């Protein structure tokens, strides 16, 4: 069965520091992978996605993620964090093709940013 | 593009009452999803529709929950009777061409059942 693990529940970084949020997935075939961000009181917004091709994908707001099949990981990175990046981040995996039905989300990582 | 619109934003009701949550997807999107978010269980898919037809409702917790999509621009999620354990944030999302596309989420309805 598909699953997504985000091992860090809460991370605090200083503004300007680099950031890496971890995501591991379990899926038998090539996964469709996503990172979403949720600000308080808001819905989820897509940061980036990986379907195929280049394993390093760029997203909005200066985020990037790297798909590593050997490690079943899709970690999210940002070289310099801004205070406005404080939010909750969700990794998700989908079966793809539009017929499988279920997009599985991780439990999320809450990011706090120190001034 | 107005995005996915959900109403109400907040709903407080007493146990045993009927609750109806509403969603207007993005025009032209052919998939609609209902998710529930809680601290304990995270984001759970409840049900999704394709072209107004329910495709998978295996995530619906029990018979007290029902969802409809009478047309391409409107969906409802109903809980009857409501229970305190139904308290959560309920999100509606829509997409074009299902899982190979991006989910666009509404801002959610925060339901509190006392």
Q: What is the pLDDT of residues B6-18, one digit of tens each?
A: 999 999 999 999 9
Across the interface, whether the CB atoms of A103 and B42 are under 8 A apart is answered no
Beta-bridge partners for B49: B32, B54
On average, the pLDDT of chain B sits at 93
Report the pLDDT value the prediction gives residue B99, as an integer from 0 to 100: 57
Stronger pLDDT, B56 or B69, i.e. the higher one: B69
pLDDT tier for residue B25 given thresholds of 50, 70 and 90: very high
Across the interface, whether the CB atoms of B93 and A43 are under 8 A apart is answered yes
Question: Which range is least confidently modeled, A27-36, B42-51, B58-67, B92-101?
Answer: B92-101
Report the pLDDT value the prediction gives residue A102, as an integer from 0 to 100: 64
> At A54, is the secondary structure helix, strand, or coil?
coil
To 5 degrees, how large is the angle CA A48–CA A93–CA B3? Answer: 55
Report the pLDDT value the prediction gives residue B4, as an integer from 0 to 100: 96
Query: What percent of chain A has pLDDT above 90?
Result: 71
Sign of CA dihedral B21, B25, B31, B37: negative
Report the pLDDT value the prediction gives residue A53, as an integer from 0 to 100: 85
Stronger pLDDT, A44 or A101, i.e. the higher one: A44
pLDDT at B41 over 60: yes
Look up residue A7 and give its two tokens. Answer: 């091992």
pLDDT tier for residue A51 given thresholds of 50, 70 and 90: confident
Stronger pLDDT, B98 or B114, i.e. the higher one: B114
Sign of CA dihedral A63, A43, B87, B44: negative
Which residue in A has a C-alpha nearest to residue B42's C-alpha?
A107
Q: Which residues of A touch B108 (CB under 8 A)?
A: 41-43
Q: Provide the chain A residues 43-82 that lie in CB contact (below 8 A) with chain B.
A: 43-46, 49, 51
Å between A17 CA and nearest CA of chain B = 28
Across the interface, whether the CB atoms of A101 and B101 are under 8 A apart is answered no
Q: Identify the residue whose tokens are 């898919």.
A: B45
pLDDT at A111 over 70: yes
pLDDT at A100 over 60: no
The pLDDT of B63-90, averaged and rounded, is: 97
Report the pLDDT value the prediction gives residue B1, as an integer from 0 to 100: 65
């Amino acid at each position: 069965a598909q699953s997504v693990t985000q091992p860090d529940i809460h991370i605090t970084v200083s503004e300007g520091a680099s950031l890496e949020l971890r995501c591991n997935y379990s899926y038998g075939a090539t996964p469709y992978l996503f990172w979403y961000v949720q600000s308080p009181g808001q819905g989820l917004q897509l940061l980036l996605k990986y379907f195929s091709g280049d394993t390093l994908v760029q997203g909005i707001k200066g985020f990037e993620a790297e798909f590593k099949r050997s490690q079943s990981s899709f970690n999210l990175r940002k070289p310099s964090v801004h205070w406005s990046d404080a939010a909750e981040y969700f990794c998700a995996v989908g079966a793809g093709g539009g017929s499988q039905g279920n997009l599985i989300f991780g439990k999320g990582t809450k990011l706090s940013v120190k001034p | 593009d107005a995005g996915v619109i959900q109403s109400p934003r907040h709903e407080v009701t007493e146990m045993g009452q009927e609750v109806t949550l509403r969603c207007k997807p993005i025009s032209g999107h052919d998939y609609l999803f209902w998710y529930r978010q809680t601290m304990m269980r995270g984001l759970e898919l409840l049900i999704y529709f394709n072209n107004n037809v329910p495709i998978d409702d295996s995530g619906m917790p029990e018979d007290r929950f029902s969802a409809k999509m009478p047309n391409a621009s409107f969906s409802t999620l109903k809980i009857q009777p409501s229970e305190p354990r139904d308290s959560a944030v309920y999100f509606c999302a829509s997409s074009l061409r299902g899982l190979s596309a991006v989910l666009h989420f509404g801002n959610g309805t925060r339901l509190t059942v006392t």
